[in-house]
Structure 1
């Protein structure tokens, strides 16, 4: 067992962990933060997406001990207009994937703000990324929704992106 300090949603937690425990399992089982969901447990569905220092990661593939001292944000620590936009645009149905979708979308918006291109970015040298529907779908392709709420998810992200300076939709 190893003692690790996990900073989650602005609060430091000292936990004793087996070094093989995933960040997902530590969040859910040690800290009781069950908003982050376990889907495939293989990094293929995105249900477990959280933010670490603002970057999105699949928590099921990350060892918790690697993230000591870093700022981890789970859905429980998110208060963002994107959440209301998901409701307004019908970007959720059963809700299982929604925490991962929202955390991923926040990370994706930060990537777009930084001018990071995707596989469908038309002009790679442009400092400003236009978040078209195709661009959002490509950037969110690591997050699956069994209910098929992709149109609402895309609309919610584009709505919020359009309201932000520096990123156009």
Structure 2
């Protein structure tokens, strides 16, 4: 069975078992390594991607549930040479310490900014709450999202 899904604006026909978690398809088949395996239970957010405009834990999302849908990963926001606004803000504010959670944080934040371009601090905090940063850079993460929302870091 082939699953047709658009990833970062590009159509893909994927032959992986429909029960395979999206995270494994992204990393192993498509070599999109931004999403990380953290807990495998949807409790840490390191694997967060955007599916049809909403954040989703790719470790819990089976490929078969994505037929005809659009997936966006951190690789779809920008490149090392030309980072997207949110990525640039995270770099400017040095929001990453170990970096393991950052792609998931960025994707969850991007899904908020796509929906609410100028969120309040309370909205940012509530939206990012499912994602964990074990290094404790939450203040820098909040500052980066706030900066990107106000037009900085571009």
State whether TM-score is above 0.5.
Answer: yes
Q: How does 1:45-124 map to 2 (within 5 A)?
A: 45-79=44-78, 80-113=84-117
1:152 equivalent among 130, 140, 143: 140
SS in 2 for 1:103: helix
Question: Structure 1 pair 137/47, CA: closer, same or farther in 2 (3 Å)?
Answer: same
Q: Distance in 1 between matches of 2:3 and 2:69?
A: 11
Q: Matches of 1:68 and 1:29 in 2, distance apart?
A: 19
Task: Please give the alpha-carbon distance, in whole angstroms, between the structure 2 residues aligned to 1:135 and 1:82.
Answer: 16
Note the alpha carbon deviations across 1:58-102, whole angstroms, 9 max, x for none. Answer: 111111111122111111111221111111112111111111111
TM-score by length of structure 2 reads 0.88
Mapped to 2, the partners of 1:112 and 1:13 lie a distance apart of: 29
User: Pairwise CA RMSD of aligned residues?
Assistant: 1.6
Q: Distance in 2 between matches of 1:6 and 1:31?
A: 12
Residue aligned with 1:90, SS: coil
Is the 8 Å Cα contact of residues 54 and 107 (structure 1) preserved in structure 2? yes
- Gap regions ≥5 residues in structure 2: 79-83
Distance (whole Å) between structure 1 residues aligned to residue 123 and residue 13 of structure 2: 40
Bigger mean CA deviation after superposition, 40-49 or 62-71: 62-71
- Distance between the aligned counterparts of 1:95 and 1:49, measured in 2? 14
Match status 1:39 vs 2:45: no
- Deviation of the 1:130 alpha carbon: 4.8
The residue number in structure 1 matching 2:8 is 9
The TM-score, its normalising length taken from structure 1, stands at: 0.81
Alignment deviations for residues 121-158 of structure 1 (CA, whole Å, 9 cap, x no partner):
xxxxxxxx7512x3322220111111111010000011
* Structure whose CA Rg is larger: 1
Answer yes or no: is the 8 Å Cα contact 2:17–2:63 preserved in 1.
Answer: no
Distance, in Å, in 2 between the alignment partners of 1:67 and 1:150 is 31
